[in-house]
A and B are shown apart, each in its own frame.
Chain A
Amino acid sequence: MKLRYAGWLVAAGAVLAGAMALSVSVGEADLPWSLALDLRLPRTALAAVSGALFGIGGALIQSVTRNPLASPDVIGVTQGAGLAAVIAVTAGLPYALVAPTALAGGLLAAAVAFLLGARSGFTANRFVLGGVAIAFALRAGIEITLTTADAIDAQRAQIWLLGSLNGLGWAEATPLAITLVVALPLLAMAAWALRTSALDDDTARGLGARPVGVRAAAGALGVVMAALATATVGAVDFVALVAPQTAQRLARTERPPIALAGVVGAALVVVADLVARRLLAPTQLPVGVVTAAIGGPFLIFLLLRARRA
């Protein structure tokens, strides 16, 4: 089992590296390698880092809630970020302020979901349902804003909601990468602690673990990662659902494996961004559309494969 996991981790890492190299070398113009690195690496790096954050965040949220359908957009993080961003776009705020506003919105929504969940000890279903209620209410807010805005503003906001890497680079990638590195020890702790939380609460307590605290901490970590990624590149949230599920099916583990989910998420967003740039070039598609178009069929393929096995 361990060997299988390590093998897939290496394989996924190789796919990621290959995709990144391809993403840097392919583009509108044929550039010498050094220039291509300068121009295209920032965007490729951002795709990788945000994809990793989505994958890890999704894996943590799915582990904590024990629900494979749980993702940042189910518990309200995406909608919180989205509502804040849509209001910022339609109110004509400068573009530089949209992402911080979105981050604040996402974290605020997550905080409310957590306060509601805390009272029920983060038992999976009730925590998720509180988040779902918040997500729907915020979604309603987004719809009110979109239907009252004029069509051009609304369409721009819609593009943000779908997620896009256009015009982004080091300025966005660096803070995300720093977060990821800083969070690594925390992630290792969470991965270790979550093993005990697979047991029921009483058994876990008997073994000296603190299941509620572990769930709260791991969930909070996942939410912060997903919120950061959403605020930076928009609602590419299908990654957070599909990457952990893919990782779990590849490695045949009980719960979504955190590291593999991160690498798979990174590879998915890098490939999707490459397709988004090149498919209808020079028109650029939002990356969120492509992650859905690639990730959806891939998930079905994995389910097909599982049946044959």
Chain B
Amino acid sequence: MMGRRIGLLLGAAVILILAVAASLAIGARPIPLDEVWAALFHPNGSETAVIVHDLRIPRTVVGLAVGPALAVAGLVMQALTRNPLAEPRILGISAGASTGVVLAIAVFGIGTLAGWIWFALLGALAAGAVVFTLGLRLGTGSSSPITLALTGAAVDACLGAVIYTLLSTSTRTFDQFRFWAVGSLSGRSLDLVVQAAPILLLGLVSAIAAARGLDGLALGDEVAVGLGHRIALVRTTAAIAAVTLTGAAVALAGPIAFVGLAVPHAARALSARFGTGTSHALLLPLSALLGGVLVLVADTVGRIIAPPGEIPAGVLTALVGAPLLVALTRRPRLVAA
């Protein structure tokens, strides 16, 4: 069991490394891997080195930050709500970030990504705080997961109305917003990742801390208490993880769809096929690795699929991932949260 777990994780890691290599090498101008290698370690100011350093590395790093963050956030949300449909959008956190960005454009007249990131982050954190405090306080005991999910859906709908009202006031705001709202890795500088890094780190640490407790929650509240888990603590830690990871990821790359929903299911289905169980100690790193793969592959495909233009990663995550999810969930042994 242990050996198979390590094998599964190693396999996923190898696929992620291949995805990183592809993301560095493939683009409007293909660069052979040996030249990528040379440019990485001996930057000589050539055009190739500039492309690799200024364009390919930043978006690969952004993908490596965003994909795992969304996937882990989705895994935590699905466990917390015990609902396989839970994801950043269902819990209103994406809508919070979007509201922040729309406010930045419409009210403060800010038109740059670097200016939007803090609005997105604040919006996501505020919405997440509202959903989780309200949802976790309203529902007690066995009603809590479903109350949390419904609160999220309600907040999402309200924020959607706010966003629409702001967008309908000007075509210019709508025009700027619609490109952000798709979600993309392009044009993000490494500075943005550095700014978001502490928040991502906080989220990841909270998720790891909550992992064992989430295993307990999956068995039901009474069993979890019997096993010695402190439910309120587990829920709070998990909520912090979900909100900070989603907030930082959405602030960096826009609300990239599908990753938070699909990757945890893919991880569960894979784990079921390899007979390695449903422990979050395994699902968490596995989801993180697969999340990175999905976002990087979607971004790389988007660069070459419609030359000379690009299709944003946020559009392709679903197109690339949907057939995969359908195939995986048709396996007989799928165990959903």
A129-B84, A137-B318, A140-B316 given as contacts; is B138 within 8 A of A307 (CB)?
yes
CB nearest neighbor in A for B162? A293
Chain B residues numbered 130-170 whose CB sits less than 8 Å from any CB in chain A: 134, 137-140, 143, 146-147, 149-151, 153-158, 160-161, 164-165, 167-168
Q: Which residues of B contact A122 (CB under 8 A)?
A: none
B160 touches A292 (CB 8 A): yes
- Complex Cα distance, B85 from A74, in Å, reads 9
In the A-B complex, the 7 residue pairs with the smallest Cβ-Cβ separation, listed nearest first, are: A136-B318, A292-B157, A296-B158, A293-B161, A137-B322, A296-B157, A133-B322
A-B contact pairs, 9 of them (CB 8 A): A120-B329, A129-B336, A130-B329, A132-B85, A132-B261, A133-B326, A134-B326, A147-B312, A289-B164
Residue of A125, A130, A152 near B336 (CB, 8 A) is A125
Residue of A69, A151, A295 near B157 (CB, 8 A) is A295
Q: How many residues of A contact B (CB 8 A)?
A: 49
A126-B329, A130-B326, A146-B178 given as contacts; is B258 within 8 A of A136 (CB)?
yes
- Complex Cα distance, B157 from A290, in Å, reads 10
- Complex Cα distance, B137 from A293, in Å, reads 22
Chain B interface size band reads: 35 or more
Q: Does A202 contact B (CB under 8 A)?
A: no
A140-B318, A146-B178 given as contacts; is B330 within 8 A of A162 (CB)?
no
A300 touches B151 (CB 8 A): yes
B178 touches A154 (CB 8 A): yes
Q: Give the distance to chain A from B272, nearest Cβ to Cβ, in Å.
A: 13
Q: Does B97 contact A (CB under 8 A)?
A: no
Q: Which residues of A contact B179 (CB under 8 A)?
A: 147
B318 touches A297 (CB 8 A): no
Q: Does B265 contact A (CB under 8 A)?
A: yes
Residue of B147, B178, B316 near A303 (CB, 8 A) is B147
Q: Which residues of A contact B84 (CB under 8 A)?
A: 67, 125, 128-129
- Complex Cα distance, B315 from A125, in Å, reads 24
Q: Does B171 contact A (CB under 8 A)?
A: yes
Chain B residues numbered 295-316 whose CB sits less than 8 Å from any CB in chain A: 311-312, 314-316
A296 touches B155 (CB 8 A): yes
Q: Does A116 contact B (CB under 8 A)?
A: yes
Q: Which residues of A contact B160 (CB under 8 A)?
A: 289, 292
- Complex Cα distance, B160 from A158, in Å, reads 13
- Complex Cα distance, B168 from A286, in Å, reads 10
- Complex Cα distance, B147 from A133, in Å, reads 24
Chain A residues numbered 133-188 whose CB sits less than 8 Å from any CB in chain B: 133-134, 136-137, 139-140, 143-144, 146-147, 151-152, 154-155, 158, 162
A136-B318, A140-B315 given as contacts; is B178 within 8 A of A126 (CB)?
no
Q: Does A114 contact B (CB under 8 A)?
A: no
Q: Give the distance to chain B from A61, nearest Cβ to Cβ, in Å.
A: 12
**A270-303 vs B, Cβ < 8 Å mask (1 yes, 0 no):** 0000000000000001100110110111011001
Q: Does B28 contact A (CB under 8 A)?
A: no
What is the interface of chain B, defined by CB distance below 8 A to chain A?
A: 83-86, 90, 134, 137-140, 143, 146-147, 149-151, 153-158, 160-161, 164-165, 167-168, 171, 174-175, 178-179, 182, 257-258, 261-262, 265, 311-312, 314-319, 321-323, 325-326, 329-330, 334, 336
A128-B84, A129-B325 given as contacts; is B150 within 8 A of A245 (CB)?
yes
9 further A-B contacts with Cβ under 8 Å, apart from A128-B85, A143-B315, A306-B143, are: A69-B153, A74-B85, A129-B329, A139-B257, A140-B316, A241-B153, A295-B154, A296-B161, A303-B154
Residue of B139, B258, B317, B322 near A307 (CB, 8 A) is B139
- Complex Cα distance, B179 from A49, in Å, reads 36
- Complex Cα distance, B174 from A10, in Å, reads 43
- Complex Cα distance, B90 from A129, in Å, reads 14
B85 touches A136 (CB 8 A): no
A68 touches B149 (CB 8 A): yes
A126-B329, A129-B329, A300-B134 given as contacts; is B174 within 8 A of A136 (CB)?
no
A286 touches B85 (CB 8 A): no
Q: Give the distance to chain A from B20, nearest Cβ to Cβ, in Å.
A: 24
Q: Does A54 contact B (CB under 8 A)?
A: no
Most buried by A among B90, B311, B315: B315
CB nearest neighbor in A for B87? A132
Q: Does A304 contact B (CB under 8 A)?
A: yes
Q: Which residues of A contact B312 (CB under 8 A)?
A: 147
A147-B178, A289-B165 given as contacts; is B154 within 8 A of A297 (CB)?
yes
- Complex Cα distance, B90 from A27, in Å, reads 36
- Complex Cα distance, B329 from A134, in Å, reads 13
A297 touches B85 (CB 8 A): no
CB nearest neighbor in B for A307? B138
A68-B146, A126-B334, A140-B319 given as contacts; is B157 within 8 A of A238 (CB)?
yes
CB nearest neighbor in A for B335? A125
- Complex Cα distance, B163 from A158, in Å, reads 12
Q: Which residues of B contact A120 (CB under 8 A)?
A: 329-330
A69-B85, A132-B261, A307-B138 given as contacts; is B158 within 8 A of A297 (CB)?
yes
Residue of B139, B161, B265 near A289 (CB, 8 A) is B161
CB nearest neighbor in A for B165? A289
Q: Give the distance to chain A from B129, nearest Cβ to Cβ, in Å.
A: 15
**A101-121 vs B, Cβ < 8 Å mask (1 yes, 0 no):** 000000000000000100110
Residue of A129, A155, A290 near B161 (CB, 8 A) is A290
Q: Which residues of B contact A297 (CB under 8 A)?
A: 154, 158
